[in-house]
Structure 1
Amino acid sequence: MPKITTLRLAFLLILSCTTVLVRSQAIIPSRYDGFVYQKHAASTATVMIEAFYDPVCPDSRDSWAPLKQAVDHYGPRVVSLIVHTFPLPYHDNAFVTSRALHIVNELNASATYHLLDAFFKHQEQFYNAQTLNKSREAVLDQVIGFASSTLGNSLKSAITSGFKDSKTGTRTRVSFKYGCSRGVYGTPFFFVNGFLLPVSDDAIDYDGWRKIIDPLATKQRHSPSNVF
């Protein structure tokens, strides 16, 4: 192979790799993905739990109450919780409900988990069969109306504007891509101190979370503290 051709191929390879790197860096968010529970700073001096949820997934719904109960039991000095949205493609309204959470989180982070609770409680309103004969616009109006009635109608205009802002769609996609980068393929998925919990068809109950957290919390008290 002629030397000039070899050099040209090497240059194209380097250029291609650089382009891929730049493209991959473009999706890096300005801050760590996810909704921090109770607005407390996520700290590596605590037991760090990350949950990947789909707002219209029944398994996500069933797992939420015992996890929240356990986190509330220990408090923010012992346990940090971050929830990431992971809208599953076979749940028709997973993306729009996940996007609503991102919009509300920007408007008032204190209301994010209130809306998540409401989505889980009234989840059947957004199942595939329930919205089968509705247009995308009608479903969007339904989600906006639901979020507004849950959090206060004074937010309706801001929530509507949020859906018109492409940045909220980008943030929702980034959450999904982040989950994929962690090997998430369904919901719920849980990571504790960065390590994946075994995936099971059965939801972890309150006692199950206590058995996971108790020994880790004891060891963590003797570790150096870091906050991010």
Structure 2
Amino acid sequence: MKGPNYATSVLQSTFVFFVFILSVSIVYAQSLPPAKSDGFVYGKHRVDWDAIQIEAFVDPVCPDSRDAWPALKQVLDRYGDRVWLLVHLLPLPYHDNAFVSSRALHIVNDISSHSTFKLLEWFFKYQENFYNAQTRNLTRIEVVNEIVESATQLLGSSYLGTLESGFNDRKTDLKTRVSFKYSGTRGVYGTPTFFINGFQLPDAGSPLDFNGWKTIIDPLIGNKTTKNNENMHYF
């Protein structure tokens, strides 16, 4: 998110400096790279071998991330196997419950990537319940319990044990930290931030509507209409 006033600018500048220092120190703080690359692949469909890669850095309790999501889904519906989406979580430190909600998504993703995005959309729909002001008088344990209870109702009772144990598992904490650190290595400090084929789009921190996406993607696709099924990958 971004704000017009001076205080917001100072906060963003401070966060950029913090992320820079963190990204430099990650080499020394982590002896081994993570077991898998960061990010959640959206959907399970075949994509063209030279499909356009969209990377989205989002915060589950960020209003701008929420507002950007419907247009992203429209893009995937329209362009099909010519694009694919990789979602990275950036829990912003000034959103009190960003880390715990991101951790819940990592826990669920270990079971089912489809359930991951179902839960992410639930956070977008009900994120106001987890804003700073609304949870000011709640403890962290109370917030976690509310997420576990709600996610279990959404995804099914079989997820209860996994969610409860996941929040007590150091590995899920580390996965969420890696996501934050990875954002730092990419120079990302606000959500949503988008990359196309590895190149960052301007106006980080602002949602992009469907027409904006079309303006970017259509020239990249050009007039290509033929596809070679032998050159398709399945995600």
Instruction: Return the TM-score normalized by structure 1.
Output: 0.83
Aligned-partner residue type, residue 164 of structure 1: N
Structure 2 CA distance for aligned equivalents of residues 49 and 74 of structure 1: 12
Q: Report Cα offsets for 1:12-57 as digits up to 9, x if no partner.
A: xxxxxxxx8564452x222221000003477761100000000000
Equivalent in the alignment of 1:171: 175
Equivalent in the alignment of 2:106: 102
Shift in alpha-carbon separation, 1:46–1:81, aligned structure 2, 3 A = same
Q: How does 1:41-60 map to 2 (within 5 A)?
A: 45-60=50-65
Equivalent in the alignment of 1:180: 184
Equivalent in the alignment of 2:70: 65
Structure 2 CA distance for aligned equivalents of residues 211 and 70 of structure 1: 11
Structure 2 CA distance for aligned equivalents of residues 57 and 41 of structure 1: 30
| 3-state SS in 2 of match to 1:38 | coil
Q: Report Cα offsets for 1:67-92 as digits up to 9, x if no partner.
A: 111112111x2001000000000000
Equivalent in the alignment of 1:91: 95
Structure 2: which 5+ residue stretches go unaligned? Answer: 1-25
Equivalent in the alignment of 1:79: 83
**Larger helix fraction of residues:** 1
Structure 1: which 5+ residue stretches go unaligned? Answer: 1-19
CA contact (8 A) 2:101 2:147 kept: yes
| 3-state SS in 2 of match to 1:82 | strand
* Seq. identity, %: 52
Structure 2 CA distance for aligned equivalents of residues 202 and 104 of structure 1: 27
Equivalent in the alignment of 1:10: none
| 3-state SS in 2 of match to 1:83 | strand
Shift in alpha-carbon separation, 1:193–1:222, aligned structure 2, 3 A = farther
Equivalent in the alignment of 1:8: none
Shift in alpha-carbon separation, 1:162–1:219, aligned structure 2, 3 A = farther
Structure 2 CA distance for aligned equivalents of residues 184 and 21 of structure 1: 17
Structure 1 CA distance for aligned equivalents of residues 232 and 29 of structure 2: 31
Equivalent in the alignment of 2:151: 147
Structure 2 CA distance for aligned equivalents of residues 21 and 140 of structure 1: 31
Structure 2 CA distance for aligned equivalents of residues 220 and 176 of structure 1: 37
Aligned residues: 208
Structure 2 CA distance for aligned equivalents of residues 22 and 215 of structure 1: 42
Structure 2 CA distance for aligned equivalents of residues 150 and 78 of structure 1: 31
Deviation at 1:121, TM superposition (A): 0.6
Q: Report Cα offsets for 1:169-213 as digits up to 9, x if no partner.
A: 111111111110000011000000000000256421111111111
| 3-state SS in 2 of match to 1:164 | coil
Aligned-partner residue type, residue 72 of structure 1: D
Aligned-partner residue type, residue 123 of structure 1: Q
Structure 2 CA distance for aligned equivalents of residues 42 and 174 of structure 1: 27
Equivalent in the alignment of 2:163: 159
Equivalent in the alignment of 2:118: 114
Q: Report Cα offsets for 1:134-157 as digits up to 9, x if no partner.
A: 111101101111211111122111
| 3-state SS in 1 of match to 2:154 | helix
Alignment match of 1:216 (pick from 206, 213, 220): 220
CA contact (8 A) 1:93 1:126 kept: yes
Structure 2 CA distance for aligned equivalents of residues 22 and 186 of structure 1: 25
Deviates more, 1:93-102 or 1:156-165: 156-165
Shift in alpha-carbon separation, 1:153–1:201, aligned structure 2, 3 A = same
CA contact (8 A) 1:44 1:226 kept: yes
Instruction: Return the TM-score normalized by structure 2.
Output: 0.81
| 3-state SS in 2 of match to 1:157 | helix
